[in-house]
A and B are shown apart, each in its own frame.
Chain A
Amino acid sequence: MATEGQTEILESFGQVNKTAGRLFQYLLQTATAFGIIVLAFLLLFVTNDAIQPLTADPGWHLTFFLTLVVPTLAVGTYVYRRNRDALVFGVMVVGLLVVSLMFSGGAALVLIDIVQPDTWAGISLAFLVPAGLVVGLQRYSRQLPFLVRFGTAVVLFYASLLGVPGPLGALVGVSQVLPNTVDIAPSLLSGVPEWLLVVGFLGVPIALGVGAYFRSVHGTEAGRSAAGVAVLATVAGGLLGPLVGVDPLPATTIAAVAVGPTGAYAVGGGISDPDVREGLLVAGALVGGALVGALAVETVGFVGPQAWVDYQFLTSAHSRNAIDAGLYPAIGGSILLMVTVAVLSFPVGVGAAVYLEEYAPENRFKRFVDVNISNLAGVPSVVYGLLGLGVFVTYLGQPTGTVAIGGATLGLLILPIVIISSREAIRSVPNEQRQASYGMGATKWQTVRNVVLPNAFPGILTGTILALGRAIGETAPLIMIGAPSVVFSLPTEFTAKASAMPLQVFAWASLFASEEFYTQAVPAGVVVLVAVLLAMNSVAIVLRNRYQRD
C-alpha cells in the first residue's frame, strides 16, 4: 500500500491541472469584456434608433456597399499586408478629418451666430496688438527692468481690451476717451469680406500652429510647406465654397479648421515618410467611396435612412413635436460653456500643479492641500451645483443659469482633475533636465517656463481634454444653478442664459417624456453627445500614446 501511494505521488509530481487555471482566465476575460460589451450593445441600440438604417432602400445599402465598403476593405487589406504603419497613418488621416470636421461645425456655428467674424477679428487684434508691442519692446531693449516691462504690458493690454481710461476711469467718473480694440476693429475692417477675415484670423493662426507642429517633427522645410498648404486650403474653401452651393463663411471655416490641417497632415506625412505613403490610399478609398456613393445614390434616386440625426436636428431649436425638435441652442451653449471652463480651469489647475510639484516645501501645508484636492475630486457633482447656486446666485446675486456661472461651477468641478493630471505630467519630467537648467544659472521661473512646462505640456493637454470631456457631459450642476432646460436661441454673451447638450437630452427624457421623444429626439441627442465625447477621448488617447512613446 505504502509503495503504491508513493508511486501515485511520484506520478502526479510536476503534473499541474490546467483546467482550473484556464477556467479562471476565461472568467477574467469575460468579466473584463462584460462592461465594454454591454455598453457597445447599448450604443448600437441607440444608434440604430437614431439613424434607423433599415428604413433605407436596399439599393442604397448595396450602392454604398459596392462603392465604400468593398474598395476600402480591399485597399485596407492590401496596405495592411504590405505595411502596417501605412494603414495606421491612413486611418489617422481619416480620423483627423472626421474629428476636425466635427469641430469645424462648432467653429462655423460660433462664427455665424455667436461672434461675428469682424468681432472675432477685433478680439484677436485686441490681444495681438499689445502682444506684438510687448515683444517688440523686449527685442528693442533687453536692459529694461522687469517691472517696467511688466507694467507696460499690463497698461497696453488694459488699454487694448478695455479702452482708455476704461472701467477704472468710469469708477472715478472720467468718460471714455478711446474705445477698446474690439469696438474699433469692426469699423476699420468694414470693407473686408467676412470670409477673408476668417482666413486671416482663424485660418492663418491654425496654419501657423500646424506649421509649428511640422517644424518640430520634420524640420523647417516641412513646417513651411505644411503651413502653406493649410493657408491655401482655407483660401480655396472661401473661393470654391460658393461654387458648390455653400456660403463662403462656413466654407472658409470648415476649410480652415478641418480641410487645411488634415490636408497638411496627409501631405506632410506622405512626403516626409515615403514608407507610409500607401496609407493615403486607404483614406482616399474611404473618402472617395463615400463621395461616389453619395453621388450615385443621388442620381439613381435611392432613398437613404430616415435618420433623426440630420441637418434639421443639428440646426433647429427645441420644439413640442419630437420630429421638429433640435439641438442647435444646446450645442452653442455647450461650446460657450466649454470655452469658459477651459479658460478658467486650465491656468488655475496648471498653476496649482506647478506650485505643488515645483515650489511647495514638504510641510504640513502641502500635505493639507494634497488631501484637500483628493477629497475635492470625490465630492459629488451635485454638491458643486449647490456651491454654484449658493455662492454665485444667492450670495453674489448673479442671475441664474448664465454661461458665466455655469462655466465657473463646472470649472471648479474639474479643477481637481486638471490639477491631479497636470501634477502627474509635471512629475514625469526627468529631474536631470531641471538640474541642467539650474546648472546653467536659470532661475526657478525660467526653469519652469522653459523646461518643465514645455515637456509636461502634452500630458497636461491630455488630462485637460479628458477633464473637459467630463465637464461637457455634466448635467446635475447646471440644473442646480438654474440653467434653463429649454432655450430657443443661441446664447450670444457670457451673461446670457444657456442650456447644454446633456441638459437638453435630460429635458427630453424626463420633462417631455413621451414615446415620440423617447424614440426620436432623445436617441438623436444621445448619439450627438456620445460622438462629441468619443471624439474628445480619442484625441486625448492619441496624444497620450504619441508622446508616451517618445
Chain B
Amino acid sequence: MSTDDITDDLTRNTENAPPELLTRSFFFVCAVLSIVTTLSIVLLLVTEASKFFTFTAPLLGVEGPTASVVDFLTGTTWQVGNQEFGVLALVSATVMITIGSGIIAIPLGVATAIYLSEYADEKHRAVLKPALEVLAGIPTVVYGFFALIYITPAVRTVLPGVGTFNLISASVVVGIMIIPMVASISEDAMSAVPDELRQAGYGMGATKLDVSTGIVVPAALSGIFSSFILALSRAIGETMAVTVAAGSQARFLNPLNPAAYQEGALPMTAAMVQLLLGDITGGGLAYRSLFAIGLTLFIITLVMNIISDYVAQRYREEY
C-alpha cells in the first residue's frame, strides 16, 4: 500500500460513505414512519367521517343517506337501526366511566406515588413496582370478565338494584387498570423534586407527613395533574373491559346522578366494537358512523394528551 493510499484512507470524509448513508437513511425512514402513522390516522378518520356528515359528504361525491352534524353532536339517542346517531348517548356513558374510574384511580394512584417516592425503601419498591406493572399489563378483556363475573355480584350485595351490565363495576376495573399510570407518572414527578427542599423542610422541624404533603406534592403538582389527564384519557379509550361489562344498550344518562351508575350503557369504544360485530356493510352509513365516533374519540384523547403536555411544561417548577 502506498503512502498516498494511507493518506487517502485517513483523511477521507466518511460521513457520506455508502454504509453511513444507507444506515442513516434507514433510521430516518423508521423515524418518519411514526409521522406517516399519525398522518394516516388523521387523514383516514377525517375523510371517512366527512362521508358520514350531510354537509361534507357532497364534497367527496358520496351519495346515499348521511347524518346531520348537529344531530350527531347534540342528539341523545343512538339507534343505528333507526338511523339515529346522537353521539351524546355514547359520550355520557364514556364520561361516567371516566368519572368513576377517576374516583378510584386518582386518590389511590397519588397515595401510591407518595408512598413509593417518600416512604418505601428499596426492598419494597423492588416488589411493588413490578406488581403495579402487572396491574396495567393484564389484558383488558380479562378485566371486563372480572367485572362481569366477580365484581357485579359483589356490588349487588350492597346495592341490590344493580343490573348485570352496569357502569359501577366497569368503572371499578378501569380505575384499577389506570392506577399504575397515575402512580408511575406522579412518582416520577415527585422523585424529581430536589432533596434540598425536603432537607430544608426537615430543618424547619417539619415531620415526614408535613414534608410529603406540604412540600413534595405541591412541588410536583404539575406532573401529578398531567398524570391525571393522561390516565383519564386512557380510561376514555379503554375498550374491551367496558364492552364486556358496561352493557350494549345505548342510553343517555346524567353523569352527575350517582344512581345512574347502577344502569348499563354503551360507551363510545364499546359502540364501535358493537357496530363492527353487527353486520355492517362496507361503505354504508353505519360503517361511516364508526369513523365519526373514532374521530370524536381521537380528538378527545389528543386534546387531553396535549393539555397534559402543556400542564407538565407550563407549570413545571424550575429548580
Contact = CB atoms under 8 A, between A and B. Distances in A.
Interface of A: 16, 20-21, 24-25, 27-29, 31-32, 34-36, 38-39, 42, 45-46, 146-147, 150, 347-352, 354-356, 358-360, 368-369, 371-376, 378-384, 386-387, 389-391, 394, 412, 415-416, 419, 443-445, 448, 466, 469-470, 472-476, 479-480, 482, 502, 505-506, 509-511, 518, 522, 526, 529-530, 533-534, 537, 541, 545
A36 B31 contact: no
A522 B44 CA distance: 36
B73 interface: no
B207 interface: yes
A374 B302 CA distance: 10
Interface string B93-126: 0000000000000011001101110011000001
Contacts of B41: 379, 383-384, 386-387
Contacts of A419: 34
B191 to A, nearest CB: 15
Given A348-B30, A359-B27, 16 more contacts: A20-B207, A36-B131, A36-B132, A351-B31, A352-B27, A360-B31, A371-B309, A378-B230, A384-B41, A387-B41, A416-B34, A443-B20, A445-B20, A475-B141, A506-B240, A530-B139
Contact of A380 (B40, B144, B236): B236
B294 interface: yes
Interface stretch (B62-70, B82-90, B145-153): B145-153
Nearest to A395: B44
A386 B30 contact: no
Nearest to B149: A518
B171 interface: no
Contacts of B38: 372, 375-376
Contacts of B282: 394
Contact of A526 (B24, B145, B209): B145
Interface in B272-306: 272-273, 276-277, 282, 290-291, 294, 297-298, 301-302, 304-306
B301 A380 contact: yes
B133 A386 contact: no
Interface of B: 14-15, 17-20, 22-24, 26-31, 33-35, 37-38, 40-41, 44-45, 48, 107-108, 111-112, 114-116, 119-120, 126, 128, 130-135, 137-142, 144-146, 148-151, 176, 179-180, 207-209, 212-213, 230, 233-234, 236-240, 243-244, 269, 272-273, 276-277, 282, 290-291, 294, 297-298, 301-302, 304-306, 309
A473 B34 contact: no
A192 B291 CA distance: 54
A360 B31 CA distance: 10
Nearest to B229: A378
The 9 closest A-B pairs by CB, nearest first: A380-B237, A473-B139, A351-B30, A31-B111, A355-B27, A28-B115, A476-B239, A352-B30, A390-B44
A350 B28 CA distance: 11
Contact of A443 (B14, B137, B302): B14
Contacts of B31: 351-352, 355-356, 360, 369
Contacts of A545: 126
Contact of A476 (B23, B37, B133, B273): B273
Contact of A146 (B19, B212, B213, B236): B19
Contacts of A351: 26-27, 29-31
Contacts of B176: 35, 38-39
A369 B137 contact: no
27 contacts: A21-B209, A25-B208, A28-B112, A32-B112, A32-B128, A35-B108, A35-B180, A351-B27, A352-B31, A355-B28, A355-B30, A368-B35, A372-B35, A373-B34, A375-B38, A375-B306, A382-B273, A387-B37, A390-B48, A444-B24, A466-B137, A469-B137, A473-B140, A475-B141, A505-B142, A511-B277, A537-B137
